[in-house]
Amino acid sequence: MAKTLLLILNPRAGRTRSTAPLFDAVAHFCEAGYLVSVRRTTHPGHAAEIVEAEGADFDRIVCCGGDGTLNETVRGAMRLDAPPPLGYIPGGSTNDFAASLSLPADPVRAAQQITGSPGRRLDVGSLNGRPFVYVASFGAFTRSSYAAPQSIKNDLGHLAYILQGVRDLSSLRPYPAVVTTEEELFDGEFLFGAVTNATSVGGLMKLNKEQVILDDGLFELLLIPAPANAAQLQELIRCLILQDFTGSGIIFRHVPAVTVETPEGFPWTLDGEFGSGAERVEIQNLPRRLEFLL
């Protein structure tokens, strides 16, 4: 009896208009013994709806699109009692999660890796009950992932995120918050905050791969306090340019959970997609929650 594979495709993601590589990827899945069913997303949240409605009937689920498509697929899988293993064919403009795992950008090579993978269980995040794959963030740069128009991201790719990030710098504002971990409390104003499980954040910030383990039950907490004077601002700019997150103006920790309280309920982004805010945000690491075919 043939194994079954549900392939979820976001036709709007990515910079290429050619579907030929995807046909080749589907052909590979078929040659590997899978009976493939293809579903195309038509609106935000559709991938989660498809997985929740149909995912339990398949042996494998593979999504092709950007990090937002992956987030939706994971969101749907988390609603299943026994979610099947998940595969990811990166088809977006930056693909932070794929970069963290060095996943092939070529659909055929990605398909080959998926069918040859023994599977690996990875941590999944939860922000007030809403799942995310690799990052929840607020403040500067968080808009970079979703504010740049899709057409610009398709044409410019990573450069679009850099341009949007520079644009964000012109409108920096401090976000008052109390950030609590199991061992520490940080009370102040922050330009940026991220709870991440990836080496690439928003296509802009790169973390050391030796510091990020995707199945250790820990997040990487990155906070950038608002500089109090010109010297601190200069140090912050230096750290960002050199991607040095150990500088005196930056807080970097490994934590299993984080609580963020703020008087204004500022918005967060999850895996680069805009999300609503709340005055109290509880973020938890769900250790080795889902199996990925990597």
| Active site residues per annotation | 273
Q: Identify each DSSP E strand in the chain by its residue range.
A: 3-9, 34-40, 60-65, 86-90, 120-127, 130-132, 135-139, 175-180, 185-196, 200-201, 205-206, 219-225, 251-255, 257-261, 268-270, 273-275, 280-293
Please answer whether residues 134 and 96 qualify as being in contact, where contact means their C-beta atoms are separated by less than 8 angstroms: yes
- Rounded to 10°, the helix 107-116/20-31 angle is 20
At a CB cut-off of 8 Å and minimum separation 6, what does 145 contact?
A: 67, 94, 161, 202, 203, 269, 272, 273
Tell me the CA distances in angstroms from 233 to 20, 202, 205, 222, 248, one per residue in order.
48, 21, 17, 17, 11
| Token pair recorded at residue 148 | 């740049």
Cα-trace Rg, the chain: 19
Distance in angstroms (rounded) separating the CA atoms of residues 233 and 237: 6
End-to-end CA separation in angstroms for the chain: 24
